[in-house]
Structure 1
């Protein structure tokens, strides 16, 4: 909800002219999608959401098909970057929960992958062309953990957790996870959390390796020292812990049974599991020492 726009579920027959007023502009006029592709046979069977401005004019639209596919997500140009798209997506996710759907999927235009990753969608398979535009299939499991099997999925899972963290993020890592915590999109998500007042606690089993590799996360923490705290594990009992994880204070988590690998499980709405991980993290954090090796960097 916003002071100058609002989002809600609409009745298809009544709202069809408004839905088309948005979709025809975005898909047909801007992106050149043929009208006969944009207007498909399942439209009437879908749940539709519509965003309207304060004057009641349509500014954004999206739909949920009975099989759990989210599509036709569109926001008029003047309203992009103001949270309208996210509000539409969250409304569709809630509609899916109300319909007892266990998973959602969508075909994201490639420049929107980070947007959907921030809401818990993981990429599946290779990119492909649809209506002349490059797309990526993405999937989100509702109410249950989802498997993370690739580096791309690992980055998407981490982005989703960081983006949904309200204040405190815990990162339990062996050596700053090269291949994950050095990815540009992951670093950008961490930077956004830090600059909006978030607190990021990073617990390492090894600090020398990241130093030698000039891990970019060290440089980020140097620039934002008030947001980052780094500690190093020394207790033998903690050094034998084989796993790694990222967990946020709103219930999101990504857990890897073997910390040197990226495969594992993730869930954006798993508060119970997040609390278990926080207990593990807090105990090890109290026993760990500050990363004095990084003090010269201002951390």
Structure 2
């Protein structure tokens, strides 16, 4: 099957049949959602995106409602894992930005939470049932920083920052952030980052290598297998050793900063270079003052 596809913002009246053909196959036939729930009164009022394969056949769809909610995201089974979903989501986010909206939200089916997390969406509230399927409310800020105030949000924003990194990551953490960096979505994002074709580099600044080794973080195995990607230094300057903050940032202008590194709550932003650049400059100075952390390379894992 061809892998080329195109995503466009489309006119609902003229593309109605193509949009609902995709949604019918995914929601009604595959997921057994009642057909009466697949079409609603918001469809004529919403912005719609449609993905077509190189043969012109519809393969994916999504919509943006007037109240800023992304929904009806559907990709045919044979096209999943090929970037169609991400392209649809980017088109809907761009449509929201074009309307100068400050945020968008969505109800993610639980198996799709990590997909939306990678794009920067943060979970909010408890899991709920919609059309007989478990969902999670998620939100993406389009203008400015957001507050991170829970472990779930900390894992989500960390996953997003790693996924969105192009070639470089910076991490300052006292003991490799238990509860965050050892979370499965974060570990998988780091593995993908480190094994991608392009040259990648992750610069890790830690405070206590001995405590990290003793705790046996799952991340250590990845660090040891890929030393050309993950460089580690331990702080040695007294001022740096007394710092309690933690920071993660990438070369896309994204950051997650915590004034108290042992807590999850902090501030995060996507594509905010005016804020991330001073943080990176500060980490660069700490890096230059720190020593190579060879002891974490010698762990018998």
* TM-score with structure 2 setting the length: 0.96
The equivalent residue for 1:195 is: 195
Helix, strand or coil for the counterpart of 1:124? strand
TM superposition shift of 1:31: 0.5
Distance 1:223 1:185 in 2: 19
The equivalent residue for 1:124 is: 124
The equivalent residue for 2:16 is: 16
The equivalent residue for 1:172 is: 172
Cα distance change, pair 3–184 in 1 and its aligned pair in 2 (3 A): closer
TM superposition shift of 1:146: 1.3
The alignment of Structure 1 onto Structure 2 pairs a total of residues equal to 298
**Cα shift readout 1:98-134 (whole Å, capped 9, x = no counterpart):** 0011011000000000100000000001111110111
Cα distance change, pair 200–298 in 1 and its aligned pair in 2 (3 A): farther
The equivalent residue for 2:149 is: 149
The equivalent residue for 2:70 is: 70
The equivalent residue for 1:209 is: 211
Helix, strand or coil for the counterpart of 2:267? strand
Q: Which deviates more, 201-210 or 70-79?
A: 201-210
Give the RMSD, CA atoms, in angstroms.
Answer: 1.4
User: Which residues in structure 2 correspond to 1:100-115 (within 5 Å)?
Assistant: 100-115=100-115
The equivalent residue for 1:185 is: 185
Q: Check conservation: 1:49, 1:88, Cα contact below 8 A.
A: yes
User: Which residues in structure 2 correspond to 1:1-299 (within 5 Å)?
Assistant: 4-196=4-196, 197-297=199-299
Helix, strand or coil for the counterpart of 2:26? helix
Q: Which deviates more, 155-164 or 288-297?
A: 288-297
Helix, strand or coil for the counterpart of 2:298? helix
Q: Check conservation: 1:7, 1:51, Cα contact below 8 A.
A: yes
TM superposition shift of 1:3: 6.8
Q: Check conservation: 2:253, 2:270, Cα contact below 8 A.
A: yes
